[in-house]
Amino acid sequence: MKKIMTFVAISALVAGMASCQSHNRLTAAEEAEGWQLLFDGKTLDGWRSFKCDSLIGGWHVVDGCIQASGEGSDGSGYIVTDKKFANFELVWDWKLTHGGNSGMLYHVVEHPRYEVPYVTGPEYQLIDNEGWEEVNAPTKLEEWQKLGVDYAMYLPDYEKMHVNPVGEWNTSKIVFDNGHVEHWLNGEKILEFEAWTDDWFARKASGKWGNATEYGLAHEGVLCLQDHGDPASFRNIKIKELPKKAGETVSLFNGKDLTGWEAFGCIEASVDSEGNLVTENGEAMQYGYLGTREYYKDFDLTVEFKQEANGNSGLFFHSFVHGGFESNIVNGWQCEVAPKGNDTGAIYESYGRGWLIQIPDEKENILKEGEWNTLRLRVEGDNVKTWLNGEEMIDINDPVFGASTGRIMLQIHDHNVIKVLWRNLNLTKL
């Protein structure tokens, strides 16, 4: 009997070791399909604290799992991947404590202007619905705060949600495929939507993110795990990148109204009787911007412009706004559009370095004042090129370009009576 018990104990130990060893690994088939492991089960290599070069604390590897200690809060306790991801299938196992609250975010943008990840990155909410309400009674969760939601945006199909009890493992998956989004829970698809549609923008504008101007717009970014003040565990985190769709040509302006654009700061924007987009000063004569509501990273853009009155303006790219829609604090790069003698077609950085490159003096006469001009801006990876009326103006390489993304924006300068007409804004995605 003693020998039998010993054999049983050894068998159980071996089985347990085999089970443990089966986690945080990829099968040969998964490797062949292009899956990448984001956690090796032993170290936090490949992860760091948000906007930091290293891991500050509160996260540890325990028994083959990434564990959040519960020391975090709304403003702290986030870890992110070293690598950015755009289109992907992401799968992970997770386990919460009673009343626990956590989340997986993606397309998170790291910039000094952003204090927390969730102002840019969408979140697959992880929370113990019933336990959280017990712990925080009499406060109740809103539907958009519950398990499985696309936080504050889209709700899951509750009939398809099968959740294992607190303390047991669950498996989730996010699919992001060129704007098509799916949330899965324990093998069932619980939520599906299309990002950056009219419906998506309406939800963004009417809810929690109404004044979070850059929420959810990035097409790529780091992944992020949240410590929201409760212990949580994660394992088997793996991702398969999906291809980017390129070659699509879009018209940024429909010639009828300002659909697809958002105004910031002090600007008057309208469409005239000839179907031109008109930008001019607001009453306060301060900086103002009209920006695309979507982000564009690699593209080839052609636009026609005509300067009336003072033509001091600009075509911004990879840009974003800090401080809400009333703000005129823009971060990004400007392809200059200005009166003759002021470097139309050159590149200026609005946040930090100023002029990156100016045009040769002999090219100033290419600009046709008071007439229609054609400006071409091509941004691909680290390279930016511009042409004015068919003549190349600048060609510059800078790794900061390739690491960034953002809106295309039309600027109105301050302290002058400025009016600029725009038409035929056609963009090809690269």
How far, rounded to the nearest angstrom, does the alpha carbon of residue 51 sit from its chain's CA centroid? 15
Sign of CA dihedral 124, 127, 133, 139: negative
Count Cβ neighbours within 10 Å for each residue of 76-99 and write b for 16 or more, e otherwise. bbbbbbeebbbbbbbbbbbbbbeb
- Residue 19 within any structural domain of the chain: no
Place of tokens 């113990």: 128
Q: Rounded to whole angstroms, how far apart are CA atoms 301 and 46?
A: 36
Count of Cβ atoms closer than 10 Å to residue 53 Cβ: 7
Shared-domain flag, residues 58 and 123 = yes
- Residue 401 within any structural domain of the chain: yes
The residues with which 309 forms a beta bridge, in sequence order, are 418
- Residue 23 within any structural domain of the chain: no
Q: Rounded to whole angstroms, how far apart are CA atoms 319 and 407?
A: 5
SS3 label, residue 273: coil
Spell out the per-residue pLDDT of the chain, length 430, in tens. Answer: 333 333 333 333 333 333 445 899 999 999 999 999 999 999 999 999 999 999 988 899 999 999 999 998 988 999 999 999 999 999 999 999 999 999 999 999 999 999 999 999 999 999 999 999 999 999 999 999 999 999 999 999 999 999 999 999 999 999 999 999 999 999 999 999 999 999 999 999 999 999 999 999 999 999 999 999 999 999 999 999 999 998 899 999 999 999 999 999 999 999 999 999 999 988 888 889 999 999 999 999 999 999 987 778 999 999 999 888 998 889 999 999 999 999 999 999 987 899 999 999 999 999 999 999 999 999 999 999 999 999 999 999 999 999 999 999 999 988 778 899 999 999 999 9
pLDDT tens digits, 10-32: 333 333 333 445 899 999 999 99
Q: Rounded to whole angstroms, how far apart are CA atoms 172 and 362?
A: 60
Predicted local distance difference test score (pLDDT) of residue 328: 86
Count of Cβ atoms closer than 10 Å to residue 209 Cβ: 19
Shared-domain flag, residues 235 and 272 = no
CB 292 within 8 A of CB 213: no
Pairing of strands 78-85, 299-309: unpaired
Give 66-81 as a 3 state SS string. Answer: EEECCCCECCECEEEE
The residues with which 67 forms a beta bridge, in sequence order, are 60, 233
Sign of CA dihedral 297, 218, 53, 47: negative
Q: What is the CATH number of the domain that holds 291?
A: 2.60.120.560
- Residue 10 within any structural domain of the chain: no
Predicted local distance difference test score (pLDDT) of residue 21: 58
Shared-domain flag, residues 403 and 343 = yes
CB 407 within 8 A of CB 263: no
- Residue 149 within any structural domain of the chain: yes
Where a domain ends, among 187, 221, 241?
Answer: 241
Shared-domain flag, residues 253 and 336 = yes
Shared-domain flag, residues 168 and 253 = no
Place of tokens 């709304």: 74
Shared-domain flag, residues 327 and 364 = yes
Where a domain ends, among 199, 222, 241?
Answer: 241
Shared-domain flag, residues 218 and 265 = no
SS3 label, residue 12: helix
Domain that holds residue 268: 249-429
Q: How many CA atoms lie within 13 A of 286 on its CB side?
A: 8
Overall residue count recorded for the chain in this entry? 430
Torsion angles phi and psi, residue 72, rounded to 5: -80, 180
Shared-domain flag, residues 38 and 184 = yes
Shared-domain flag, residues 391 and 257 = yes
For the chain, what is the domain count? 2
Sign of CA dihedral 366, 371, 372, 377: positive
Where a domain ends, among 241, 262, 294?
Answer: 241
Shared-domain flag, residues 201 and 253 = no
Q: Which of 430, 358, 360, 356 is nearest to 398 (CA)?
A: 356
Shared-domain flag, residues 173 and 155 = yes
